[in-house]
Structure 1
Amino acid sequence: MGSTQVEFKNPATATLLEAVKARRTVYALKGESPISDEAIQNIVETSVLHVPSSFNTQTSRVVLLLKEEHKKVWDITLAALEGLVAAGAVPREAFESSTKPKIESFRAAYGTVLFFVDYESLAPIKEKFAIYADKFDPFALESNAMSQYLVWTALESEGLGANLQHYSPLIDEGIQKQWNLPGSWKLDAQLVFGTPAAAPGEKAFAPLEDRFKVFGK
Structure 2
Amino acid sequence: LSQGSEYVPSEESGGDTEESDSEETSENGKRERKYRIVGNEQLLELFRRCKECGAQLDTSEVVMREEGSVCIVDYACLSCGKSVTWRSQSRIGKGKSTVYEGNQEIAVGAFITGVPIPRFTDFAQLLGLGLPTERAMRRTIRDIACPAIKRVFKVWEAHVRSMVKDVAEPGGIAISIDGQYDSPGFNATNCKVTIMDANLKVAIAGVSLHKHEPEIG
Larger RCO (CA within 8 A; separation ≥ 6): 1
Q: Which of the two has higher C-alpha Rg?
A: 2
Larger relative strand fraction: 2
Per the normalisation by structure 1, the TM-score is: 0.23
Per the normalisation by structure 2, the TM-score is: 0.23
